[in-house]
Amino acid sequence: MQKEEDKLLVRIAEMYYQEDKNQSQISKELNIHRSTISRLLKRSRNEGIVNISINYDKAGTYSIEKELQEKFNLKKAIIVQAGADLSRTQKDKLLAQGVGEYLTEIIKDNMIFGFSWGETMSAIPEGLTDYDVKNILCVPMIGGPSGRLISDYHVNTITYEASKKLNGRALLIDSPAFPETVALKKALMENEFNQELIDYWRKIDIAILGIGSPTLKASESWKQFYGEDVLAYLEGKKVVGDVVSRFYNIEGEHIDNTLDDRLIGIDIADLKRTPYRIGVAEAVDKADAIASALKGRYINVLVTTEETAEEVLKRSV
CATH number at residue 218: 3.40.50.1360
Pair 26, 172 in one domain: no
For residue 2, give Cα distances in angstroms to 5, 9, 33, 142, 189: 5, 10, 20, 71, 80
Q: What pLDDT was estimated at residue 5?
A: 83
> Which phi and psi angles does 164 have, rounded to 5°?
-65, -40
In this structure, is residue 151 part of a structural domain?
yes
Pair 140, 228 in one domain: yes
Pair 149, 11 in one domain: no
Q: What pLDDT was estimated at residue 46?
A: 85
What's the CA gap between 227 and 143, in Å, rounded?
14
What's the CA gap between 159 and 101, in Å, rounded?
18
Classified as helix, coil or strand, 21 is coil
In this structure, is residue 224 part of a structural domain?
yes
Pair 32, 101 in one domain: no
Domains in the chain, number: 2
Helix axes 23-30, 34-46, angle to 10 degrees: 110
Pair 202, 163 in one domain: yes
In this structure, is residue 51 part of a structural domain?
no
Beta partners for 64? none
Pair 41, 60 in one domain: no
Q: Which residues of 138-173 are buried (b: 16+ CB within 10 A; e: fewer)?
A: bbbbbbbbbeebeeebbbbbbbbbbbebbebebbbb
- The H or E element spanning position 209 is strand 206-210
Q: What pLDDT was estimated at residue 306?
A: 94
CB 83 within 8 A of CB 307: no
pLDDT in tens, the chain (317 residues): 567 788 899 999 898 888 888 888 999 999 998 888 888 988 888 888 887 665 555 556 888 999 999 999 999 999 998 877 888 889 999 999 999 999 999 999 999 999 999 999 999 999 998 888 999 999 999 998 766 666 888 999 999 999 999 999 999 998 988 888 999 999 998 888 889 999 999 999 999 999 988 765 556 666 666 666 666 767 777 889 999 999 999 999 998 888 889 999 999 999 999 999 999 999 999 999 999 999 999 999 999 999 999 999 998 76
Pair 15, 118 in one domain: no
Pair 196, 151 in one domain: yes
Dihedral over alpha carbons 61, 66, 67, 69 (to 10 degrees)? 120
Query: CA 213, 215, 218: angle at the middle one, nearest 5?
Result: 105
What's the CA gap between 16 and 22, in Å, rounded?
6
CB 293 within 8 A of CB 300: no
CB 132 within 8 A of CB 241: no
Pair 15, 99 in one domain: no
Pair 159, 191 in one domain: yes
> Got the DSSP string for 113-146?
EEE--STTGGGHHHH---------EEEESB-B-S
- Domain encompassing residue 116: 56-315
Q: What pLDDT was estimated at residue 146?
A: 64
Beta partners for 115? 140, 208
What's the CA gap between 219 and 27, in Å, rounded?
68
Q: What pLDDT was estimated at residue 184?
A: 93
In this structure, is residue 66 part of a structural domain?
yes
Q: What pLDDT was estimated at residue 54?
A: 54
In this structure, is residue 21 part of a structural domain?
yes
Pair 89, 227 in one domain: yes
- The H or E element spanning position 183 is helix 182-189
Q: What pLDDT was estimated at residue 288?
A: 95
What's the CA gap between 58 and 61, in Å, rounded?
9
Pair 66, 143 in one domain: yes
